[in-house]
């Protein structure tokens, strides 16, 4: 999947079951390969952040390999 960072910045993030998770704030990339590793998402108020890995700024750290679609919103696959 190819995209520009501007294409994904500030997009809404939804789970595969339709729950609103939050808004994309930033990306974590491997500087050697150029691959995106994680999305950093400002969580919505409805999200139980205890169920997610968080960074030092309390953003959700979502694995990019779980992204199913990037269009008007980002759709995540199952986040076991």
pLDDT value of position 53? 96
pLDDT value of position 37? 95
CATH (domain of 35): 2.30.30.240
Mean pLDDT by runs of 10 across the 80 residues of the chain is 78 95 95 94 96 97 95 91
pLDDT value of position 4? 72
Q: Residue 52 in contact with residue 44, Cβ under 8 Å? A: no
pLDDT value of position 38? 97
pLDDT value of position 80? 74
Give the count of domains, the chain. Answer: 1
pTM for this one? Answer: 0.91
Q: Which domain holds residue 21?
A: 5-76
């Amino acid at each position: 999947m190819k995209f520009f960072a501007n294409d994904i910045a500030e997009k809404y993030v939804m789970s595969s079951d339709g729950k609103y998770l939050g808004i994309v704030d930033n990306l974590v990339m491997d500087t050697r390969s150029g691959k995106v590793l994680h999305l950093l998402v400002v969580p919505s108020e409805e999200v139980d952040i205890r169920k997610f890995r968080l960074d030092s700024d309390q953003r959700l750290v979502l694995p990019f390999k779980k992204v199913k679609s990037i269009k008007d919103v980002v759709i995540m696959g199952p986040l076991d």
